[in-house]
Chain A
Amino acid sequence: MSDDLNTDILNPVEPFLRSDRVPHIWCPGCGIGTTVNSFARALIDSNIDLGSLALVSGIGCTGRVAGYVKLDSFHTTHGRAIPFATGLKLANPKLNVVVYSGDGDLSAIGGNHLIHAARRNIDLKVICVNNLIYAMTGGQTAPTTPDHSTTSTNPYGVFEASFNLPHLVEAAGAVYVARWTTFHVRQLSRAISEAFQKKGFSFIEVISPCPTLYQRRNKMGDGLDAMKYYKEKSRVRHGAPTSEVGMTMTGEIIVGKFVDRERPDYQTMMKAQFHESLGEKFVEQTEMVCS
């Protein structure tokens, strides 16, 4: 059987991939690759200058995105993608900085950095792929794992309340908060494009299947079963109060754009403050490149 049939149809995601590293390591039915398709299309639709885009990820399955995209990409330490990204953005404000990481990485070990970056309104676009579990390490409980789920560290069922990430990030100060699932490929792409148009801390949560661990351990089928579940149980409620969008194991998934507000971003406020306090003595940051 020939490898490629009718290869004259170009996949728009192809120019964004490090093709020498594909096939990737994600499992059959994992949704991370699907989110990358939406991301690539957002880049195309937004006409982003790829030369000034940097992508930062943490550790975990979603953290591997950095290694597969043909961009200036940084695979950093567990939970610390956001502070690394902050450093990039502060030293070169012309960069468009995307943080692409998982729910455990961003909200557990990285939780502190998440809330402070949102509070400061650092101009970052955060794509949080939420597969409700720590997948890479074998299926341990994450702060987002729904009540009563079975995981390897809660073998008798999770009894902790789980984080409602949109609520958390809104409370911390994010200016753009949305949630979609990997079923909502076009809406997700649009949300990412919208985030690119916005200055400030944007947070897009994408509910995604983990067939190997979350789905399998909870006898919920495979990745396709998860996608069908998203299709059936998602309810689009733009502007819903984020306090109402918490998730349960088998309940509704509220999706949509929840928060889209205006607040000056960190660097805008910084400059304003220095102008006010220092007047003429303020020297705006010049070209950082030291060579």
Chain B
Amino acid sequence: MKTDTADPHTADRHVAVRHTADPRGVLTGIHFMDGDHACCEGALAAGCRCAAGYPITPSTEVVERFASRVPTVGGTFIQMEDELAASITLQGMVWAGAKAFTVTSGPGFSLMMEHIGYAAMTETPCVFVDVQRGGPSTGLPTLPAQADMMQARWGSHGDYEVIALCPNSPQECFDLTIKAFNLAEEYRVPVMFMMDEVVGHMSEKVVIPAADQIEVVPRKHTHKSVEDYLPYGTNGDQVPEMAHAGEGYNFHVTGLTHDERGYPNMTLPVQDKLVRRLQSKILNAVDRITMTEEEQIEGADVVVVSYGITSRVAQRAIEAARERGLRVGKLRLITAWPFPEKKIRDLAGKVKAFVVPELNLGQMVREVERAAGGQAKTFAVSHAGGGVHNPEEILKVIVEASRCQTI
């Protein structure tokens, strides 16, 4: 699995000291645990000591474990009265100085949308975990789906960008949760951690390394004086420096369109400047943020694009197809958003077709098709959710895709 390591582009923005995990939160060792539990451990390893949650299947175990762990490592968990509260309580925790997250599934994710937008607008670094289940509405509380992928990107109103990660194993639930917190701090953005019920509830070996092996990105805290500090000022760097309540900066934060002082300024030029920066701070960094796992892309006729639990089922289908002599590449999206458009566009010029299996009726496949720009065909392998694909279903489409005429 590819995991991002120290990035030379961002190294100069942080103090030269390499930040590693606080050992008090790291459960070093070899464990047998499910994805939900591993996600909790990832959060603790990342330095997260605060969470606000609300119970919802199949995510609840994450915060149940957190509730049990934090009083022994020094932190706070509060179960709020609803997801509307949880999704903003965690942001209060962030502005007081903590790293914080919340965990939910479909119906709760929908409730949290306003506050995901608030986090994007106020540039509050935080993590929202969505352990996806069958939908829409109450749907299938205990069964998997991957049907919140578009919602993760577009769920709140207005123009904004998020980062979304898709783990495909309990080990990745640990590793990538740390990555999610790191990305949140680096880009001052809410990060969507898109698990699914299978990854959340499957138990596998999870190796938690020593704390000094775990890289952690600290809060981008200002060193400026009170007089010079501008809460949303950027010096060429697209990400402003942050201050916390109680440090004497007397700053103002608002969800209204605001200028560099953080003051509401509801005029066209300020709106344009702000919203474009919220977008460009992520899109200009697509190459640094994107994580994929690629296999036998060179010379492939068909590339299977998948993510989350589906990628593991797809692996079976890909291997079966290769046994039949087909040239099939694998592209696993570890980051689903920002979508790696350029990568797909470049590939589209070289392959016949993309096959995109997902536990939904076609979501990320639309992005693949859009990015392919007509240069290659795109085949969806849809699934209404409630279980994983039968590898045969995916194999069938790979075979069909291989037979299609090159564009």
Contacts and interface: CB of A to CB of B under 8 A. Distances in A.
Interface string B1-37: 0000000000000000000000010000000000000
Contacts of B252: 18, 66-67, 73-75
Interface stretch (B242-250, B304-312, B360-368, B382-390): B242-250
Contacts of A70: 250
B81 A291 contact: no
Contact of B93 (A54, A91, A291): A91
B391 interface: no
Interface string A38-61: 000000000000111010100000
Interface stretch (B72-80, B147-155, B314-322): B72-80
Interface in B95-139: 95-100, 114-115, 118
Instruction: Name, among B99, B245, B253, the residue most crowded by chain A CB atoms within 10 Å (CB to CB).
Output: B245
B71 interface: yes
A75 B49 contact: no
B30 to A, nearest CB: 23
A283 interface: yes
Interface string B230-271: 000000000000001111111111111000000110000000
Contact of B75 (A54, A84, A285, A289): A285
B88 A76 contact: yes
A87 interface: yes
Interface residues of A, number: 48
B47 to A, nearest CB: 6
Instruction: Name, among A66, A73, A282, the residue most crowded by chain B CB atoms within 10 Å (CB to CB).
Output: A73
Given A71-B250, A77-B118, A285-B76, A274 B245 contact: no
A278 interface: yes
B45 interface: no
Nearest to A278: B71
Contact of B50 (A90, A116, A287): A90
Contacts of B401: none
B88 A80 contact: yes
Contacts of B88: 76-77, 80, 83-84, 87
B255 A77 contact: yes
Given A72-B249, A83-B88, A290 B115 contact: no
Interface residues of B, number: 52
Contacts of B118: 76-77
B254 to A, nearest CB: 4
B219 A113 contact: no
Contacts of B39: none
A83 B50 contact: no
Would you call the interface of chain A mostly helix, strand, loop, or mixed?
A: mixed
Instruction: Name, among A50, A66, A88, A270, the residue most crowded by chain B CB atoms within 10 Å (CB to CB).
Output: A88
Contacts of A283: 24, 71-74
B52 interface: yes
A86 B218 CA distance: 23
Nearest to A109: B84
B100 A95 contact: no
A114 B82 CA distance: 12
B246 A87 contact: no
Contacts of B244: 92, 289
Contacts of B114: 77
Interface in A73-114: 73-77, 79-80, 83-92, 94-95, 112-113
Contacts of B254: 66-67, 74-75
A288 interface: yes
Nearest to A277: B71
Contacts of B263: 18, 21, 67
A3 interface: no
B221 interface: yes
B378 interface: no
Given A54-B245, A67-B263, A291-B221, A83 B74 contact: no
A19 B250 CA distance: 13
B93 A87 contact: yes
B92 A88 contact: yes
Contacts of B94: 87, 91
A274 B49 contact: no
Interface in B190-217: none
A95 B246 contact: yes
B43 interface: no
A281 B83 CA distance: 30
B220 to A, nearest CB: 8
A85 B78 CA distance: 13
A285 B73 CA distance: 8
Interface in A240-291: 270, 274, 278, 281-291
Contact of B81 (A66, A77, A113): A113
A77 B249 CA distance: 22
A95 B96 CA distance: 8
B308 to A, nearest CB: 29
Contacts of B47: 290
A94 B264 CA distance: 28
A89 B98 CA distance: 11
Instruction: Name, among B71, B92, B218, the residue most crowded by chain A CB atoms within 10 Å (CB to CB).
Output: B92
A288 B73 CA distance: 12
Nearest to A52: B246
Contacts of B256: 75
A80 B92 CA distance: 11
A274 B250 contact: no
A70 B49 CA distance: 29
A232 B249 CA distance: 43
A284 B70 CA distance: 9
B90 interface: yes
Given A79-B84, A88-B96, A91-B50, 13 more contacts: A66-B254, A67-B264, A72-B250, A74-B252, A75-B252, A80-B88, A87-B50, A87-B90, A91-B94, A282-B72, A285-B74, A288-B96, A290-B97
Closest 5 CB pairs of A and B: A87-B92, A291-B221, A91-B96, A75-B254, A83-B85
9 contacts: A72-B246, A76-B255, A80-B85, A83-B88, A87-B92, A87-B96, A88-B245, A90-B76, A291-B221
Interface of B: 24, 47, 49-50, 52, 71-76, 78, 80-82, 84-86, 88-100, 114-115, 118, 218-219, 221, 244-256, 263-264
